[in-house]
């Protein structure tokens, strides 16, 4: 203690002999400053980790939306929750469950926090004493994350103010408070950042660090989104929107293709023979289908998703009948065309699950499990369809604690090879329609047909039979399987037959992975989300709002009506106390009403610009333009 006091005293005696300005201008000696920090690659790696926690959330760490997986993609025709906010279109400018489930102002402010962080990194790297190769790599990392930040924002808001430098508020107010740049302008800037990153980021930069293939994968995802959004919406929504020229769209689609091809040509990744293992194993480091993942470790950090696919009731919601009916039969034909479909007259699970795409068996349990039915099944769902996509079968059979509470160490794939193949084939088809190279059989063979080559088995089946799906072939303006042209009777007439099947494959492969909501937004297909159809002048619930087909006689003791499960019988639209029908778990009409072409509905494709930001601009004497309809 005396030595410590003497040391402090000596310092105090020295102060009068030092220039005051010099002393006060010195950098603190016990912590890093902006000038002393930017010295080594270690500094850059540490600085960049904040981006990882923002953009690679995996399955999360709690019971909420699981990072976008399972119930996190709930505002779709695949999965619907019981919560009112997740099943209705938003009623005000400040809520929008269909856009990442976060508060509007938070998405804006967090997005610009990430942009600023990336811009600082880009500004500091040129002055660092590291090799040119290292500078190029880390500049690529910064620009990759800036591209991700702007991608996240334009998916939510459309055009935003694009800022690519560190600004001094005192000297750059006019730039800092400039109005929004167009969606197209920002998308072009995003493409520039992704292209730079693809050309400069290392092919390997240690475990769980972004490399060239991670860049390419996310580039394929985001550039496909922006290209299709601009194609199907134009520059905006409502009457002010203008069509985007093919010459502007082609580079964006090509960016998606370039990103995908960088991954596909690397020979680092391949489609395996276990679909379920991608989502339910504790070590994805050697899984060749996984490009990047979030690691979980017992005793350090785990997630709760496994428990929602094991013994807990799936009270957050369930898979819809619409999604189940989208799965092809095992002959590669839609259920409305295939002679193998056994559920035509009785679409109960027992019948309708026969002879189907084997991914269905690794995604949804093939037995009825209805929540609040009086049957007390394990892991019940409001729709009767209990999921198993995220369930480790061996852990479940062993009654492992990994299947309970927040104890699952299963790693989460944040982006995987199957998605990249689907991004590729969709972008290739789209670009072929606007002047790009013709869409050919090779495009199908390296994408959809590669996915269909998996040898998958059905859990619990004895003896286990390895199943594949038949390959698809080009047949004029359609696809065919084994010589039969696919002609889905429920195809959206606005969608080309080939594109319809490409979109179907995407839906089945990526179900409950957080992609469907984005897909419907970029395709301008929110009408798929309506809760009702009109048949013969009578309003009936859409399959998006229905669950499994149930015959009361098959389930003695089942509770129906006001005290239990509501059923809807399509054969009796009056629906007076049906003895069989689809689970109509909300038992309401007009929950979601979307009218294509009307601004009151179309506005939901974009979120409102936060009122707080508009006010801040106004107080400074500037204007921040609001989205149409808000």
DSSP state of 301: B
The rounded distance, in Å, linking the Cα atoms of 258 and 250 is 12
The answer to the question of residue 567 being in a domain is yes
The rounded distance, in Å, linking the Cα atoms of 586 and 81 is 10
Q: How confident is the model at residue 92 (pLDDT cuts 50, 70, 90)?
A: low
The answer to the question of residue 569 being in a domain is yes
**What average pLDDT score do residues 300-323 get?**
89
The answer to the question of residue 507 being in a domain is no
Task: Give pLDDT, residue 26.
Answer: 42
Q: What is the DSSP string of 32-62?
A: --HHHHTTSHHHHHHHHHHHHHHH--TT-SS
In degrees and rounded to multiples of 5, residue 587 shows phi and psi of 50, 45
Q: Please name the residues in contact with 177: beta carbons below 8 A apart, sequence gap of 6 or more.
A: 617, 620, 622, 624
Token output for 510:
């990526």
The answer to the question of residue 175 being in a domain is no
102-150 per-position pLDDT tens digit: 444 488 999 999 999 999 999 999 999 999 999 999 999 999 999 999 9
Q: What is the DSSP string of 573-624?
A: TT--S-SEEEE-SS--S-SS---TT-HHHHGGGSPPPPHHHHHHHHHTT---
The answer to the question of residue 451 being in a domain is no
pTM summary value: 0.92
The answer to the question of residue 462 being in a domain is no
204: helix, strand or coil: coil
Q: How confident is the model at residue 627 (pLDDT cuts 50, 70, 90)?
A: very high
The answer to the question of residue 83 being in a domain is no
The rounded distance, in Å, linking the Cα atoms of 157 and 109 is 12
Nearest to 79 by CA among 467, 515, 421: 515
> In this predicted structure, which of 51-65, 254-268, 539-553, 598-612 has the lowest mean pLDDT?
51-65
488-519 per-position pLDDT tens digit: 999 999 999 999 999 999 999 999 999 999 99
Task: Give pLDDT, residue 562.
Answer: 79
Which residue range(s) make up the domain with 554? Answer: 531-583
SS3 for 103-152 is CHHHHHHHHHHHHHHHHHHHHHHHHCCCCHHHHHHHHHHHHHHHHHHHHH
Give the chain's domain count.
1
7-61 per-position pLDDT tens digit: 223 333 333 333 333 333 344 444 455 667 999 999 999 999 999 999 999 999 8
The answer to the question of residue 554 being in a domain is yes
Task: Give pLDDT, residue 576.
Answer: 72
């Amino acid at each position: 203690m005396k030595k410590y006091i003497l040391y402090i005293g000596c310092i105090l005696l020295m102060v009068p002999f030092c220039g005051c300005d010099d002393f006060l201008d010195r950098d603190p000696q016990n912590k890093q400053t902006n000038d002393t920090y930017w010295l080594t690659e270690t500094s850059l790696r540490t600085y960049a980790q904040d981006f990882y926690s923002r953009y690679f959330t995996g399955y999360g760490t709690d019971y909420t939306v699981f990072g976008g997986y399972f119930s996190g993609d709930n505002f779709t025709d695949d999965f619907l929750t019981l919560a009112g906010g997740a099943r209705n279109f938003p009623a005000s400018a400040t809520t929008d469950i269909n856009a990442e489930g976060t508060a509007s102002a938070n998405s804006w402010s967090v997005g610009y926090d990430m942009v600023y962080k990336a811009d600082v990194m880009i500004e500091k790297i040129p002055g660092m004493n590291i090799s040119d190769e290292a500078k190029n790599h880390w500049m690529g990392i910064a620009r990759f994350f800036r591209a991700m930040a702007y991608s996240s924002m334009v998916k939510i808001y459309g055009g935003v103010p694009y800022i690519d430098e560190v600004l001094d508020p005192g000297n750059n107010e006019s730039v800092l408070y400039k109005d929004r740049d167009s969606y197209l302008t920002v998308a072009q800037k995003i493409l520039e950042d992704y292209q730079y990153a693809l050309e400069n980021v290392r092919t390997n930069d240690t475990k769980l660090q972004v490399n060239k293939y991670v860049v390419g994968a996310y580039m394929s995802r985001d550039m496909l989104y922006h290209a299709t959004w601009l194609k199907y919406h134009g520059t905006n929504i409502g009457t002010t929107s203008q069509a985007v020229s093919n010459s502007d769209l082609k580079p964006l689609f090509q960016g998606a293709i370039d990103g995908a091809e960088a991954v596909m040509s690397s020979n680092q990744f391949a489609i395996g023979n276990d679909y379920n293992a991608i989502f339910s194993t504790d070590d994805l480091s050697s899984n060749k289908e996984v490009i990047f993942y979030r690691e979980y470790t017992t005793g350090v950090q785990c997630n709760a998703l496994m428990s929602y696919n094991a013994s807990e009731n799936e009270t957050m919601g369930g898979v819809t009948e619409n999604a189940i009916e989208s799965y092809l039969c095992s002959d590669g034909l839609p259920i409305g065309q295939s002679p193998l479909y056994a559920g035509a007259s009785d679409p109960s699970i027992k019948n309708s699950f026969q002879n189907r795409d084997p991914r269905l068996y690794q995604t949804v349990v093939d037995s009825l499990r209805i929540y609040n039915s009086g049957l007390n099944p394990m892991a019940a769902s409001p729709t009767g369809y209990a999921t198993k996509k995220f369930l480790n079968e061996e852990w479940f059979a062993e009654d492992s604690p990994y299947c309970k509470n927040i104890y699952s160490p299963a790693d989460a794939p944040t982006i995987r090879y199957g998605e990249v193949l689907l991004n590729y084939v969709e972008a290739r088809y789209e670009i072929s329609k606007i002047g790009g190279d013709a869409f050919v059989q090779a495009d199908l063979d390296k994408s959809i047909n590669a996915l269909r080559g998996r040898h998958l088995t059905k859990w619990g089946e004895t003896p286990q039979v390895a199943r594949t799906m038949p390959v698809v072939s080009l047949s004029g303006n359609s696809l065919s399987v084994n010589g039969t042209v696919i002609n889905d009777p429920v195809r959206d007439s606005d969608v080309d037959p080939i594109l319809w099947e490409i979109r179907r494959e995407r839906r089945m492969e990526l179900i409950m992975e957080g992609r469907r909501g984005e897909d419907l937004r970029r395709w301008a297909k929110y009408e798929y989300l309506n809760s009702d159809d009109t048949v013969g002048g009578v309003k009936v619930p859409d399959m998006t709002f229905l669950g499994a087909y149930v015959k009361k006689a098959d389930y003695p003791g089942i509770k129906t009506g006001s005290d239990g499960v509501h059923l809807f019988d399509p054969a009796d639209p009056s629906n007076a106390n049906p003895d069989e029908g689809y689970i109509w778990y909300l038992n309401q009409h007009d929950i979601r009403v979307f009218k294509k072409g009307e601004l009151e509905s179309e506005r939901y494709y974009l979120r409102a610009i936060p009122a707080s930001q508009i006010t801040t601009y106004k107080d400074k004497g500037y204007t921040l333009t609001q989205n149409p309809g808000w």
